[in-house]
């Protein structure tokens, strides 16, 4: 695909699809990471002498309706603060013409009829606003919607922005041609939501580290007692296949030899360390144990590439967060090319303050997961179809 940086933008009308879908509560923005991550592309287009229209969705509004919670005004305000200029919101973009040097934000695209359905009409209406369409919304690249897909069919030129290109570059480096050994950490509450990822990675990884409910299902598959721990008994055969496949390739799925258990899920529940063989029928596993964490840290130290999605324990309760902390610090200390993504993972990155020590942190949630699944992201595919 084309990259925005390769294009001549002086005097051009540039329409940038960003992912400014940030948490907003009562008009107050929680985490503005995605807004910050979108600025380099906007700045570069303005500096090249373009007029810039930015568009994004916010939340999941009902199409054709507009509620106060759908308003992108707080996002425009924060974007303006961060860029040191005023950013106006354009509510009705029909007939709108942007001037060189101007920067505006279109109102929440998901309120437009045809956005979710990816209609050609809406794609054409967006395309009519610009000379160049730039997709910089990696976080929304797994959605084929009018502002991510149809518009790219009809715009005179369609290209990837800096963030989009950077994300694809980093993810490609981690998964398409990884420096070995490749270690993936896939953790979280359910195997079912990450089964495709586990299956896809089983063809690639040297080590698969599992955690949380996913590890419990894998422990079941290996015949261990897990008490009342969260697990999916119906996916034990799938877990067995993943383990067998990786071992057949000479890799390993190092399962916890010790765990941290509690009797109930509560912030004040005392943490008890047990060998996996000592887990009782009324125990619940909430974290990996210290011996396991130390062993995994050694694996991470010698990795060439690390892909991290999901905390290995209930890290929101400090007494069950040690495993995730050891893993986070080991990733931070490892010379490997490391990449982290997904909501819970980013919360752990923030909690243990290792953002500067991870090689790349993805802004994608669902898009990051679908990339790990090996799926084609439709918003990227259409840019590729539009050629280089
Ligand atoms: C995200 O937050 O993952 C993206 O912005 C996509 O949002 P969506 O899941 O509502 O399509």
pLDDT digits (tens, 9 = 90+) for 217-243: 999 999 999 999 999 999 999 999 999
* 34: annotated active-site residue: yes
Residue 256 CA: distances (Å) to CA of 82, 148, 169, 212:
45, 42, 33, 11
Contacts of 42 (CB under 8 A, 6+ apart): 16, 18, 52, 54, 79, 83, 103
d(CA 179, CA 235): 31
pLDDT attached to residue 190: 87
**pLDDT tens-digit series, residues 137-162:** 999 999 999 999 999 999 999 999 99
| Angle at the Cα of 306 from the Cα atoms of 212 and 4, rounded to 5 degrees | 115
Fold classification of 178-372 (topology level)? Rossmann fold (3.40.50)
CA of 167 to the centre of ligand 1 (A): 16
- Find out whether 312 and 187 touch, Cβ atoms under 8 Å: yes
Candidate list 3, 153, 190, 386, residue with the active-site label: 190
d(CA 257, CA 252): 14
Pocket of ligand 1 (CB under 6 A): 19, 21, 60, 139-140, 143, 365-366
pLDDT attached to residue 231: 95
Say if residue 304 is preceded by a cis peptide, omega within 30 of 0.
no
Across 196-207, b (16+ Cβ under 10 Å) vs e yields ebbebbbebbbb
Closest ligand 1 atom, residue 364 Cα: 3
pTM of this structure: 0.92
φ, ψ for residue 216, nearest 5 deg? -60, -40
Alpha helices per DSSP H over 222-278: 236-248
Closest-CA residue to 33 (of 77, 74, 78) = 78
Q: Does domain 4-164 have CATH number 3.40.50.1260?
A: yes
d(CA 53, CA 137): 14
Q: Where in the chain is the domain with CATH 3.40.50.1260?
A: 4-164, 178-372
pLDDT attached to residue 285: 98
Contacts of 293 (CB under 8 A, 6+ apart): 322, 323, 326, 327
Candidate list 27, 113, 343, 375, residue with the active-site label: 343
pLDDT attached to residue 343: 78
Positions of the chain with pLDDT under 70: none
Candidate list 12, 34, 116, 204, residue with the active-site label: 34
């Amino acid at each position: 695909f084309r990259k925005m940086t390769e294009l001549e933008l002086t005097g051009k009308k540039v329409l940038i699809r960003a992912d400014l879908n940030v948490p907003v509560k009562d008009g107050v923005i929680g985490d503005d990471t995605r807004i910050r991550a979108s600025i380099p592309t906007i700045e570069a287009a303005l500096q090249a002498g373009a007029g810039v229209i930015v568009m994004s969705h916010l939340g999941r509004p009902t199409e054709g309706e507009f509620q106060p919670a759908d308003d992108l005004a707080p996002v425009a305000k924060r974007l303006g603060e961060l860029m040191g200029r005023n950013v106006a919101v354009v509510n009705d973009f029909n007939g709108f013409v942007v001037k060189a040097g101007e920067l505006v934000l279109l109102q929440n695209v998901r309120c437009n009829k045809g956005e979710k359905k990816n209609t050609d009409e809406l794609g054409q209406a967006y395309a009519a606003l610009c000379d160049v369409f730039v997709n910089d919304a990696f976080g929304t690249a797994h959605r084929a919607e009018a502002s991510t897909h149809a518009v790219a069919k009809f715009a005179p030129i369609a290209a990837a922005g800096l963030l989009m290109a950077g994300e694809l570059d980093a993810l490609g480096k981690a998964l398409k041609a990884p420096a070995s050994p490749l270690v993936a950490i896939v953790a979280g509450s359910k195997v079912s939501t990450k089964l495709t990822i586990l299956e896809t990675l089983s063809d690639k990884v040297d080590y698969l580290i599992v955690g949380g409910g996913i590890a419990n299902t894998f422990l079941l598959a290996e015949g261990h007692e897990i008490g009342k721990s969260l697990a999916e008994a119906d996916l034990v055969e799938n877990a067995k296949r993943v383990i067998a496949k990786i071992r057949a390739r000479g890799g390993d799925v190092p399962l916890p030899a010790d765990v941290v258990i509690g009797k109930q899920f509560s912030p004040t529940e005392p943490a008890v360390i047990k060998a996996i063989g000592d887990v009782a029928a009324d125990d619940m596993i909430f974290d990996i144990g210290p011996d396991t964490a130390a062993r995994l840290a050694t694996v991470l130290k010698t990795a060439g590439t690390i892909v991290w999605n999901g905390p290995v324990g209930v890290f929101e309760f400090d007494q069950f967060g040690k495993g995730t902390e050891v893993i986070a610090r080991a990733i931070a200390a490892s010379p490997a090319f490391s990449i982290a993504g997904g909501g819970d993972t980013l919360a752990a990155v923030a909690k243990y303050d290792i953002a500067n020590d991870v090689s790349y942190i993805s802004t994608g949630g669902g898009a990051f997961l679908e990339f790990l699944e090996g799926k084609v992201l439709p918003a990227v595919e259409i840019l590729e179809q539009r050629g280089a």
